[in-house]
Amino acid sequence: MPEDQPPADPRGSSSSWSWSRPGGGDDSGARRALPRNEDFRRTVGFTVLGTVVPGVGLLAAGRKVLGSVVLGVFVLTLAAIGVAALVDREALMQVGLDPTSLRRLAVVLAVVAALWVLVVIATHLSLRHRPSGRQRIVGGILVGVLAFAVAAPFAVASRTAYVSAGLVGSLFKSSDETKSATRPTFEPTHAGDQEQQDDPWADKPRVNVLLLGGDDGKGRVGTRTDTVILASIDTKTGDTTLFSLPRNTARMPFPSDSPLKKYYPNGFTDGNGENAEFFLNAMYRDVPATVPKDVIGDTDNLGADVMKLSVGQALGLKVDYYVLINLQGFSTMIDALGGIRLNVNTYIPIGGNTDLHIPPKEFIKPGPNQKMDGRSALWYARGRYGSDDFARMDRQRCVINAMIKQANPANVLTRYEDIANASKTLVRTDLPQEVLPAMVDLSLRVKDGNVRSVVFKNGVSGFISANPDFSQMRSRVKKAIGEAKDDSTPKKTASSGSSGSGSGSAPTSEDVDSSCKYDPKVAATARPYTG
């Protein structure tokens, strides 16, 4: 029998046999004849393996130079990413939070996806030899499935990078592009300082962020910050204490060394603690209208800087950054997150006007762990017919806590584009791009930490919104932060003094999880207020 012919098929046909290509990976350097089905199974196996580890399939097909190059690039790339994640995570995060780098990354990911798909196709074509018609069809389907499995994640990642570039660019500007008279100078990393590189907050024990809810809806002139919450974050543990101030807090002070003290020597007041034009929620809009625009220095948002200085003075904490949330876009963000879950212990009005004695037509009914869309969550946070600002403040911190829980990595990734689009119209802040990597690192600690709160209520611990005792308020703030640091203070149970008695051994602050829990006894006796 001639040596260049395959052995005769016992059934009279040689169609079930296939010659392998020389140098195709056989130890002898020359491939022996394999049954066609066995050869196809080998092709399928190495095609799949060559997709997971690019280059391996090409080596098995005898494409030693090309396979070695592809495999080498793959291994070196993984090693470089791994080393960067371990050695310089800050630099890696910086890439993910810089608009220009993100756009470049989007292009790179698209190119990598295309090259990887080409490797999959080349691997299969190099491995197969004289396939039958059925095997060609099966092989084509296999390559198509593998190409999709490779390209789809890269397409999603590329799209996410592109959307992130737009989000970061619209919300966060570099320190050179924005002006703030109150923003601290903060360098997250220091060359040669290993501790600072390992922990960007090593030199800063607390970060204080002012959260403002701006209600600038239809029929209103300017922005009124009806929600004012200072979040004080322990940078080591992520434990966060929320300090909530009533919107009608009067006589808000300014630091003695601030130029604003000249214009408001007795605080933001006309002497009448009941005048709504001099309440806390009017400062953002009204103070910039009465003072020079550069009274405290160059700034892009004088109203926010005014509130940072005043709230910081009132509570005895230096406010680092602010985040202004447009309540008109609040419901859009909740919907983008897929809704949030809240416990409801009483009937919460939807609409209505207490001053005009117009009762609401709808209510959120009591019930545990209720799934709320954006509209319902917004009314949960702001509804006050038959209620007061303090009850609303309690609900607002429950909403913040629920959003922290809902913004888990898996949920954010699956809904990222919707969340990003909602954020563009929802948030205004003075956080610079340079600090974002460190803030992301801190946010991960916050998710693992406890959230406690202090709500300043009329009649509690001597607080009177028309004439606050700011010295006493600062003492309560100091005590609450001390409790958060003290491991002996129960963090998962609310106490009878949690509303802020500030005396004896009763805690000044309370755990938000506990304070927002469902109380079946209270819910059973709740009735809608329509008076």
- pLDDT category at 372 given cuts 50, 70, 90 is very high
DSSP result, 246-283: -TT--SB---TTSTHHHH-TTSB-SS-TT-GGGSGGGH
212 and 100: one domain?
no
Indicate whether 429 and 517 sit together in one domain: yes
Is residue 178 assigned to a domain?
Answer: no
In the predicted structure, residue 470 carries a pLDDT above the cut 70: yes
Q: Are 34 and 87 found together in one domain?
A: yes
Q: 387-415: per-residue pLDDT in tens?
A: 777 788 788 878 888 887 787 666 676 77
Q: What is the pLDDT of residues 289-337, one digit of tens each?
A: 999 999 999 999 999 999 999 999 999 999 999 999 887 677 888 888 8
Q: Is the pLDDT of residue 26 over 60?
A: no
- 29-43, 139-153, 253-267, 280-294: which has the minimum mean pLDDT? 29-43
Tell me if 5 is assigned to some domain: no
| Residues 212 and 360 both lie in one domain | yes
Q: What is the pLDDT of residue 452?
A: 87
CA distance 183 to 181: 6
Q: How far apart are the C-alpha atoms of 422 and 430, rounded to whole Å?
A: 18
- Does residue 3 lie within any of the structural domains? no
Confidence at 16, pLDDT banded by 50, 70, 90: very low
In this structure, the answer to whether residues 418 and 341 fall within a common structural domain is yes
291/416 same-domain check: yes
Average pLDDT over residues 471-486: 87
pLDDT of residue 188: 52
Whether 121 is covered by a domain: the verdict is yes
**Residue 527 binned pLDDT confidence (cut-offs 50, 70, 90):** confident
pLDDT interval class at 23 (50, 70, 90):
very low
Residue 329 has a pLDDT of: 73
Answer yes or no: do 288 and 339 share one domain: yes
Report yes or no on 454 lying in a domain.
yes
Q: Is the pLDDT of residue 374 over 70?
A: yes
Phi-psi map region of 29: left, alpha, beta (phi>0 left; psi -120 to 50 alpha): left
Q: Does the structure show a pLDDT above 50 at 510?
A: yes
Instruction: Report the chain's terminal Cα–Cα distance, integer Å.
Output: 106
**Residues 418, 455: one domain?**
yes
CA distance 498 to 513: 13
- Of 67-71, 94-98, 194-198, 300-304, the poorest mean pLDDT is in 194-198
Together in a domain, 217 and 357: yes
Q: Which two tokens stand for residue 256?
A: 């003695």
368: pLDDT confidence band, cut at 50, 70 and 90? very high
- Contact 228/245 with Cβ under 8 angstroms? yes
Return the CATH number at 259. 3.40.630.190
Percent of the chain with pLDDT over 70: 82
Mean pLDDT, range 167-189, rounded to an integer: 80
Produce one character per residue of 477-491: b if its CB has 16 or more CB atoms within 10 Å, e if not.
Answer: bebbbebbeeeebeb
Q: Which of 113, 137, 171 corresponds to the end of one domain?
A: 171
For the stretch 115-153, pLDDT in tens is: 999 999 999 999 988 888 899 999 999 999 999 999 999
Number of domains in the chain: 2
Structure confidence at residue 192 as a pLDDT band (50, 70, 90): very low
Q: Examine the domain organization and report whether 164 and 202 are in the same domain.
A: no
Domain boundary among 171, 204, 220: 171
Tell me whether residue 84 is in a domain: yes
Q: Which residues, at least 6 apart from 481, have a Cβ–Cβ distance to it below 8 Å?
A: 206, 232, 241
In a domain, 349, yes or no: yes
Give mean pLDDT, residues 42-62: 94
Q: Is the same domain home to 436 and 287?
A: yes
Query: DSSP strand E in 373-464: where?
Result: 427-429, 451-455
Give the model's confidence band at 171: pLDDT under 50 very low, under 70 low, under 90 confident, else very high.
confident
* Boundary residue ending a domain (136, 171, 206): 171
Asked if 230 contacts 319 with a C-beta cutoff of 8 angstroms, the reply is yes
**Residue 15, pLDDT above cutoff 50:** no
- Write out the residue range of the structural domain in which residue 85 sits: 17-171
Q: Do residue 107 and residue 249 come from a single domain?
A: no
Mean of pLDDT over the chain: 82
Residue 151 belongs to a domain: yes
